[in-house]
Amino acid sequence: MGQQRITIISNCELSREGSKRLILSHGLPAASLSFAEAERLSVGQDDPLHLLLVEGDSEAGALAMALRLRGRFLNSPIALLCPDFPLAFLQNGLAAGINGFLTRDMPFAALLHSLRLILTGQKILPTRCIEHLMGSEVSVLLPDWNEIADHRQLSQREVGVLHCLVEGDANKVISRRLNIAEPTVKVHIKAILRKLNVGNRTQAAVWAVSRRTAS
């Protein structure tokens, strides 16, 4: 098997070199490139274990670079590092195959953890963006729940609990909505996390939302 590695792509030399050194200091191989250099990056490096982290001052500039890379690197996960992400931008980015949306104000430990999660196949969104999604018109984002049940072998009850997670419901609220005991809710959530191969309820909600945007 290959080794996990990260290439930081940014037009700010100070930022990309600083990020590279921090990542290297934590035992994860890293390289850094400018946008122009990334355009010449060999497609021979297309690899699910090779994360392309695109940093930009604007979401549009970073996404444009990421989309050019996605056209050439079909297997490598791609993440964006930007000041912030509007909701509409997240929807477009997810639909375009972007794997992670990371904000510059996050602690480095959280950033490193997120990068490792993306390298294992997870999709990552900022917490405040998840909260925005939960408070928005999520009906346009909801996936076909029967398709999810078939694809991940979720029971109909688990699908109902997942639906509640997308809406941001706490366990007590789920218990009341589905008329089941709260300990039973916890059992269902644990099963959902295992079947979706995610680490927490937020990631499960992101998975469900991204299923719709990718369809």
- Secondary structure E strands in the chain: 5-9, 30-33, 50-55, 78-82, 100-103
Is residue 7 within 8 Å of residue 52, measured between CB atoms?
yes
pLDDT tens by residue, 158-211: 888 888 887 777 888 888 888 889 999 999 999 999 998 888 888 887 777 666
- 183 and 82 share a domain? no
- Does the pLDDT of residue 90 top 90, yes or no? no
- 10 and 103 share a domain? yes
List the one residue out of 127, 88, 102, 120 whose CA is nearest residue 213.
88
- 117 and 207 share a domain? no
Least confident of 27-36, 126-135, 187-196: 126-135
- 130 and 141 share a domain? no
- 100 and 202 share a domain? no
Q: Give how many domains the chain has, as a whole number.
A: 2
- 93 and 55 share a domain? yes
pLDDT tens by residue, 114-126: 999 999 988 888 7
What pLDDT is recorded for position 145? 57
What pLDDT is recorded for position 53? 97
- Does the pLDDT of residue 215 top 50, yes or no? no
What pTM was estimated for this model as a whole?
0.62
CA dihedral 46, 53, 194, 131 (to 10 degrees): -150
CA angle 65/69/71 to nearest 5° reads 120
Report the SS3 class of residue 51: strand
What is the domain range of residue 102?
5-134
